[in-house]
Structure 1
């Protein structure tokens, strides 16, 4: 066993014993463990090493399945570690909502949060128990053979449980309002099958290639194996610590698992273009945010749809939207293209034009918040009880007056406020400074790397004065959220709860992100579309608009700073409060 650290984290390497080199080859096996502390990386590597030695004893084991098994086990260990943190933050969020509802006198809501807190605490206990058992195994394996033999039974039982652990109860399912498919347990490790080629020449080619690289798939390779290799390769290639990218990779994983569940895990030559239609039709019946409803626990995607359809019409859960179903189909085409590249004897299913099922919910487009809703929000922001939580209070104002995404606002640091050509602006081109080191700023797109003009209203309402005084955790303007595993997600949930409490929230249509629509409408009244796109970080829609300076120029910043306040929006509650301090 060998362990070394690279920029993207630790990598574990397992040497192939000489006694089985003829079966598994001489080249060592490597598994990317990701960013871990040195102690955690060593414990993770010890457990994987023990698993590797045990799997090599299996007479039916192949190198391809061995690598797949170790990567799958590493992902399960990573999921348990991640879930412990997320459950801790979830418990904190539930308790805070409970306290907020208690302040409002909403007794039924308080009881509901108490029940949720009890469930979360129970799940935290399960994860803590698992983690403790894994620690025991790692300690025993790092000592001597006697200690290892004493813990062998525990090790084997935990490895077995890792493969069958019910993620619906033990690990929080990943779901959001877009209806993204939750990440279920990984598909079972497929058993090796003898490769079958279409001709004698294909057999010769396949044997020659497979002798050099186990990823040389044939038409007999199961999609579960080929797809798993492709997704693992994507993760390694794109592992930069970018959480937005990480979430997309998780959606790919979840979509892949859903396809295998709906259509089945078969050899690559089995699949027909029509299977894409079968997948889309099944997904169009799946209820959105289904993990929030206990009645769907333990059901397959198809059975969820049937159970939902059997409910009275006024009780049915909204199905996945057309946009979400299209996204799932597109993701499967992407995986298929890469998994079947260079494989003989398989059909190209990507050209199939899927008919959108009528059961899918119509796509909901976000829209700007009405002036009445914004004014109601501003009044509540200026209230003394809200200003006791400045990390919460300032987010909507900054979102409206800058057009920044919530994830961009949450990661603002005091050092981002700079003066360029005599104008104070926010410079999102700068890296984050954490513990004295430069860290890439998590931005959604290339056009998000930009300069943002600061409208005078932000100063008049008191935000600039607040922001420059922040010297807390990591220099962040909103350090409160950075105690969570996912700061942007924590802020999003708090904003959603706040909007619901004020009665200005409409699922998916009128949410915090709607403020960007308000900003674009405001900008459209006074500046051209190109300048509006540069301020908000939107990609130019024509080649001509891509010409010129990418960042806002001095004149462009001054144009935005000189814009009158948005019509019908009353900022006086915040201005008066700041002037009265």
Structure 2
């Protein structure tokens, strides 16, 4: 008795899912070099103020792997700190009893320390933070970003989606893709996964939980962050920021006032030219 063969075109398991077969890669794409070019060289991005959320949020996400809401929740007076001589971002809960709108990182391992990338420092991040501190800003992007319900980032998220679409950025590439790109680049290095997890706020695998990753030294965390290099060389942004700053006006030269003497008139009212006194000879 012969068995019937199933036609090649027939896929009997189509539409079914099986445990353990889900693709590891998220539906979101990493930022490609081309898409980074489209965003950071776009007219809308380049014309944004160097103190705006649009200017800083993508740069911070790219160089730290932080989530959008985590960045928006940064408080200049509390969350930008010096730890063991290193400028760091301190991601921690905001408590109602301390006078803040309650907020907690996404997971327990999301409570973490992230050293600030040297490129951000060179680009003026600390100057921006100090400016916001002096202005008494509650959050890093106050008053530009305001709470909508329990979310500080919702309005910016919609605006960023519009901008990236107009720039021609891939549909699957989102703001959260900065986080994916940061991790992808770090995983191409020889760094320990547990140290990368500590910076990213990811729970470790095989027993490497949040307790272990929170014990990573500042020096190791700094090593992880500094191992990241942007796929796109971004020095043109610093040049653009200088070009858009108003040129300082030259100080006004004081006007020297001359003492005027009335003309010498003769008997008929005509001006008499004064004779210059002869220079005495020696």
**Cα deviation, residue 501, structure 1:** 1.2
Paired residues of 1:381 and 1:387 also in contact (CA < 8 A): no
Name the counterpart of 2:203.
539
Which residue pairs with 1:376 in the alignment?
38
- What is the alpha-carbon distance in structure 2 between the residues aligned to residue 563 and residue 431 of structure 1? 30
1:385 to 2:47 alignment: yes
- Counterpart mapping for 1:232-243 below 5 A: none
Partner of 1:492: 157
| Contact residue 431 and residue 441 of structure 1 kept, 8 A | yes
| Shift in CA distance, 443/562, structure 1 to aligned 2, threshold 3 Å | closer
Q: Is the 8 A contact 2:30 2:178 kept in 1?
A: yes
| Residue 161 (structure 1) aligns with | none
Higher helix share goes to which structure?
1
Which of the two has higher C-alpha Rg?
2
Aligned to 1:557: 221
Residues 365-385 of structure 1: CA deviation (Å, up to 9, x unaligned): 112011111122222389552
| Deviation, structure 1 residue 433 | 8.3
The SS at the match of 1:487 is coil
1:412 CA drift (Å): 0.9
Query: RMSD value over aligned CA atoms?
Result: 3.0
Per-residue Cα deviation, 1:538-565 (whole angstroms, up to 9, x for no partner): 1111114656351541221331354262
- Contact between 1:381 and 1:393, CA under 8 Å: does it hold in 2? no
Inter-CA distance 384–433: structure 2 relative to 1 (3 Å threshold): farther
With over 3 angstroms needed to count, the CA separation of the structure-2 counterparts of 1:504 and 1:460, relative to structure 1, is same
Structure with bigger RCO (C-alpha 8 Å, 6+ apart): 2
3-state secondary structure, aligned to 1:520 = helix
1:464, distance to aligned residue in structure 2 (A): 2.9
The total of aligned residue pairs comes to 219
User: TM-score, normalised on structure 2?
Assistant: 0.67
Kept after mapping to 1: 8 A contact 2:115/2:218: no
Secondary structure, aligned partner of 1:481: coil
CA gap 1:469/1:423 in 2 versus in 1, 3 angstroms: same
1:505-538, Cα deviation, whole Å (9 max, x unpaired):
40xx211111111100122233221111111111
**Alpha carbons of 1:375 and 1:552: their partners in 2 closer, same or farther (altered >3 Å)?**
farther
Please report how far the alpha carbon of residue 458 of structure 1 lies from its aligned counterpart in structure 2 after TM superposition: 0.8
> CA separation in 2, counterparts of 1:450 and 1:411?
14
Query: Unpaired runs of 5+ in structure 2?
Result: 1-14, 18-22, 246-282
Q: 1:411 aligns with which of 73, 80, 83?
A: 73
CA–CA separation in structure 2 for the residues paired with 1:557 and 1:579:
31
Q: Match for residue 519 of structure 1? A: 182
1:451-490 aligned at under 5 Å gives the runs 451-471=113-133, 475-479=138-142, 480-482=144-146, 484-485=148-149, 486-490=151-155
Q: How much does 1:459 deviate?
A: 1.2
**Cα distance between partner residues in 2 of 1:475 and 1:464:** 16
Secondary structure of the 1:387 match is coil
Deviations 1:425-474 (A, max 9, x none): 0011253689x625543321111111112110111222332133114575
**2:96, 2:118 → 1: CA distance?**
27
1:482 match: secondary structure: coil
Summarize the Cα distance change of 1:372–1:551 in structure 2 as closer, same or farther, 3 Å threshold: farther
The separation in 2 between residues aligned to 1:563 and 1:450, in whole angstroms, is 18
Q: d(CA) in 2 for partners of 1:497 and 1:469?
A: 29
Unpaired runs of 5+ residues, structure 1, are: 1-321, 323-354, 357-361
